[in-house]
Amino acid sequence: MDFFDRFAIPHPSPIIYASMVAIGLTVIAIVAGLTYFKKWGYLWREWITTVDHKRIGIMYLLSALLMLFRGGVDALMMRAQTAVPENTLLEAQHYNEIFTTHGVVMIIFMAMAFIIALMNFVVPLQIGARDVAFPRLNNLSFWLYFMGAMLFNLSFVIGGSPSAGWTSYFPLAGNEFSESVGTNYYMLAIQISGIGTLMTGINFIATILKMRAPGMTLMKMPMFTWSALITNLIIVFAFPVLTVALAMGTMDRLFGSNFFTTSDGGMDMLWANLFWVWGHPEVYILILPAFGIYSEIIPTFARRNLYGYKSMVASMVLISLLSFFVWVHHFFTMGQGALVNSIFSISTMAIAVPTGIKIFNWLFTLWKGKIKITVPMLYSLGFLPIFTIGGVTGVMLGMSAADYQYHNTMFLVAHFHLVIIPGVVFAMIAGMTYWWPKMFGFMLNERIGKWTFWFIAGGTCLAFFPMFISGLDGQARRMYTYSEATGFGIWNMLSFIGALGLAAGFILIVYNVYYSTRYASRDIGDDPWDARSLEWATHNPVPEYNFAITPQVNSSEAFWDSKKNGHKLFKGPFKEIHMPNNSGMPFIMSILFFVLGFALVFSLWIVAIISLIGVFACLAHRSFEKDHGYHISVEEIEKTEAERGGAEHENR
């Protein structure tokens, strides 16, 4: 391939050209706006260089919402293409690129960012910490994730997007069948983002194990913190497998190695095994924090303590262990034999048991509760039946003999989305709405939020239930068109209408943020939900130091005890607080990683070497840097507390 040909889109279309123009105009508008309002300095000081876990959490949240709409547009285009038989809206190659980028964006760059956003903001507050264990590493983790996401999305306008599916199976993802640089983008963008995620896993394990408030034993941690701990343990064990697989895939494509080729000693099934050794635990990396969110919301609005705390913890631990023993069910039909299939079929069905325990624990929490229907509670209640349907169809897919019928059909697409949407998207919107007052000091509008729920819940059911029928009728996934004689048309049209309902719901989320920002009351107190855990014991907005006095904890619902049983959370006088300094080095290093990734995508070796040297120079600079942070004086603390008053003052 000629040097300059690599930078061109292999299969351009009017839609892609229009998107290029839209992206260019958006970038120009952002730069012009920041310049006109003179916000570059503010952006650098307060956000780009921040090491405050709360601001980093908000940046993850905004990025996740951006990626949600990026992946949502892909989904709408797919459903529009298949809405009617023999449609010509998209060409086959463009359709392949869209379903590939949709999967990667939604799993890696949207869902992962959403859960890390809420973990970043909430976990240190729930355990009574001032920040995470490694604040600067937290900043670097975000910027590596962000640069990985931007590098992946750059493929849309330079060089072409990957088209081998979000699983990127070899040999399809090899140079022979994927000649453009799209798969290079896949390998390197996910690698860069994955390094940031792995750092996050290490950071939060250290934070939760070493920085809990006095009295908070492991069995007194809030359930969301438990879910975060187990999730990050899975991250630390699973993501290195993906890192190695991506490195091997990159070497196959750039240097002609033969790890995953079908000749010269390579083994294409090695990629499938390595990918799903990471890929199935990844499902639980997404689901477990969602379970933790529901375990916070349901007790709050049922006005009851969570039923079966110990069994909830035990079930999460069991899920995390079993998640590493089910990966082969993703390729039951690839010829590994009846014995192997039977073993993994049993392990797949076994993982439904601890999940079922959690469902019943939530139902028992609701039983005889004084239920208050709020937006977070609506998503929690809607999650239960829809997720159960998705989970039961997963058990059907887990039966290896039956999987020969279901495999690679729209039935599987319906199952996966009816697990991920209620299990992750519902939870993330519920968690965002629930903790929004703590993040921004005002509440999202309840009426608009309830309309949003019904659009999203109804759209989800209408979009994916018909796929069960078309899948059982034989419609294969990834088909970009079909004939009218198949009879799939009616089901695909219903799915398209459901997708439009989902789109309307997501647009309403944006409108709700806009409307609430302008009109919502700022006088809501520090605990507008009458909640139970420690993050609600500090002020709105949360001070940079989180708690003026480190709380003293005696239960898993420490704040509830302080309100109802008179337990004093904050004892003793104010003391000087040590805090970390902001740093621009993580951002600079992430830009070097971005340049390194881009250079490797296009085999620009000199640029790659220079940027790699720059990365090591940043590491060396940090190794010799003497940065001892700064101190907040007692006088400053007293002034802040006097201005804000609130729960911490009342509980002293």
* CATH number of residue 53's parent domain: 1.20.210.10
Other residues' Cβ atoms within 10 Å of the Cβ of residue 373: 11
If you average pLDDT over residues 393-414, what whole number do you get?
91
Whether 605 has a pLDDT exceeding 80, the answer reads yes
Residue 386 domain-assigned (yes or no): no
Point out the least confidently predicted range of 336-340, 536-540, 641-645: 641-645
Domain total of the chain:
1
Q: Which of 352, 354, 332 is nearest to 408 (CA)?
A: 332
Q: Which of 323, 295, 278 is nearest to 228 (CA)?
A: 295
If you average pLDDT over residues 349-365, what whole number do you get?
93
According to the model, what pLDDT value does residue 57 have?
96
According to the model, what pLDDT value does residue 652 have?
45
If you average pLDDT over residues 354-376, what whole number do you get?
93
Domain encompassing residue 46: 6-286
Cα end-to-end distance, the chain, whole Å: 70
Residue 558 domain-assigned (yes or no): no
Whether 626 has a pLDDT exceeding 80, the answer reads yes
Other residues' Cβ atoms within 10 Å of the Cβ of residue 117: 26
Whether 634 has a pLDDT exceeding 50, the answer reads yes
What's the whole-number average pLDDT of the chain? 92
Residue 213 has phi, psi (to 5 degrees) of: -65, 155
Residue 550 has phi, psi (to 5 degrees) of: -60, 125
If you average pLDDT over residues 238-266, what whole number do you get?
93
User: Can you point out the beta strands (E) in 61-146?
Assistant: none
Residue 110 domain-assigned (yes or no): yes
Residue 332 domain-assigned (yes or no): no
If you average pLDDT over residues 609-638, what whole number do you get?
92
CA–CA separation, 589 and 76 (whole Å): 36
Q: Which of 122, 206, 125, 130 is nearest to 575 (CA)?
A: 130
Whether 331 has a pLDDT exceeding 50, the answer reads yes
State how far the alpha carbon of 486 is from the alpha carbons of 463, 470, 475, 492, in Å. 19, 9, 8, 12
| Predicted TM-score (pTM) of this structure | 0.95
State how far the alpha carbon of 350 is from the alpha carbons of 318, 322, 346, in Å. 10, 8, 6
According to the model, what pLDDT value does residue 287 have?
94
pLDDT tens for residues 99-110? 999 999 999 999
Residue 650 domain-assigned (yes or no): no
Whether 413 has a pLDDT exceeding 50, the answer reads yes
Is the CB of residue 124 less than 8 Å from the CB of residue 131?
yes
Whether 229 has a pLDDT exceeding 80, the answer reads yes
Residue 475 domain-assigned (yes or no): no
According to the model, what pLDDT value does residue 525 have?
87
Instruction: Please confirm whether the linkage preceding 171 is cis (ω < 30° from 0).
Output: yes
Per-residue confidence at 648, pLDDT binned at 50, 70, 90? very low
Q: Within 13 Å of residue 102, how many CA atoms lie on the same side as its CB?
A: 17
Whether 465 has a pLDDT exceeding 80, the answer reads yes
Per-residue confidence at 188, pLDDT binned at 50, 70, 90? very high
Point out the least confidently predicted range of 68-72, 190-194, 379-383, 637-641: 637-641
Residues 272, 275, 281: CA angle, nearest 5 degrees: 130
According to the model, what pLDDT value does residue 7 have?
82
Per-residue confidence at 596, pLDDT binned at 50, 70, 90? very high
Q: Of how many residues is the chain composed?
A: 652
Residue 82 domain-assigned (yes or no): yes
Per-residue confidence at 2, pLDDT binned at 50, 70, 90? low
User: Can you point out the beta strands (E) in 115-259?
Assistant: none
Residue 169 domain-assigned (yes or no): yes
If you average pLDDT over residues 422-440, what whole number do you get?
95
According to the model, what pLDDT value does residue 1 have?
53
CA–CA separation, 211 and 507 (whole Å): 39
- Cα-Cα-Cα-Cα dihedral sign, residues 480, 482, 487, 493: positive
If you average pLDDT over residues 26-50, what whole number do you get?
92
Percent of the chain residues past pLDDT 70, beyond the cut: 98
